[in-house]
Amino acid sequence: MKDDFGLPYIGTGDLLRKHKDDGTELGREAGGYMEKGDLVPDGLVIRMILEEVEEKGDDGFLLDGYPRSAGQAEALADALEENGRHLTAALLIEADDETVIRRLSGRRQCIKSGHLYHVDFDPPKNEDGYCDIDGTRLFQREDDKPDTIRKRLATYHDKTEPLIDYYEERGLLRRFDGTREPNVVHGHVRATLATLRLEERL
């Protein structure tokens, strides 16, 4: 999406993991919550995301993994409104819990650049357990282990799912069938964003 539309990509999970790897104070605070599959407290995440939006988002932005709670959604709406701006859409890529568990538990990524694989659906072609591009070892995220995935799903249903109604009521929600093939989902999301861009001149 970021290549399709030339929009800066702001991924909350990626940003938090970078803070953790860099050993910043935010990273140290966030780490414990992430390993358990809990949400990082709103105050920390909101500040981090609003700073990124302010720094990179003048001509639009793609948020991934944010908002995950009502407080985060309100904070984003308020911050945008203060600058006379608003969200164009909230994209909901839907998949049942079983599908999510199968996908996350098989996900692997390379140590060097984070290139992604899946043990069943997209295994490396050259050598099992090693990245085709970098040749470095693949590892499994601590929070992609089955017990933590179940906790993350419970957190999602409790804290994040209510945002579906929140964005539906505001006419912003766009739904996609996330159980389809990645390229099919990509095509659907791209077509929707292309239409919105025409309408809004994003």
Q: Per CB under 6 A, does 63 bind ligand AMP?
A: no
Q: Which residue of 10, 26, 34, 48 would you call a contact of ligand AMP, by CB under 6 A?
A: 34
Q: Which residue of 31, 37, 57, 178 would you call a contact of ligand AMP, by CB under 6 A?
A: 37
Beta strands 107-110 and 90-94, pairing class: unpaired
Q: Which is nearer to ligand AMP, 63 or 193 (CB)?
A: 63
Q: Which is nearer to ligand AMP, 154 or 191 (CB)?
A: 154
- Of residues 180, 177, 181, the one with CA closest to residue 192: 177
Q: Which residue of 19, 107, 152, 188 would you call a contact of ligand AMP, by CB under 6 A?
A: 152
In whole angstroms, the minimum distance from the beta carbon of 153 to ligand AMP comes to 10
Q: Per CB under 6 A, does 65 bind ligand AMP?
A: yes
Query: What is the total count of residues that contact ligand AMP (CB under 6 A)?
Result: 17
Distinct helix (H) and strand (E) counts, the chain: 9, 7
Contact 108, 139 (CB under 8 A): yes
The token pair that represents 201 in the structure block: 């001149």
In whole angstroms, the minimum distance from the beta carbon of 93 to ligand AMP comes to 13
Q: DSSP string of 120-171?
A: TTB--SSSTTB-TTT-PBEE--GGGSHHHHHHHHHHIIIIITHHHHHHHHTT
Q: Say what angle helices 12-22 and 42-56 make with each other, to 10 degrees.
A: 100
Q: Per CB under 6 A, does 73 bind ligand AMP?
A: no
Q: Which is nearer to ligand AMP, 22 or 199 (CB)?
A: 22
Q: How far is residue 76's CA from residue 53's CA, in Å, rounded to a whole number? A: 10
Nearest residue to ligand AMP, scored by beta-carbon proximity: 13
The token pair that represents 170 in the structure block: 């505001």
In whole angstroms, the minimum distance from the beta carbon of 101 to ligand AMP comes to 13
Which residues inside 87-146 make contact with ligand AMP, applying CB under 6 A? 143
User: Applying CB under 6 A, which residues contact ligand AMP?
Assistant: 12-13, 16, 33-34, 37-40, 45, 65-68, 72, 143, 152
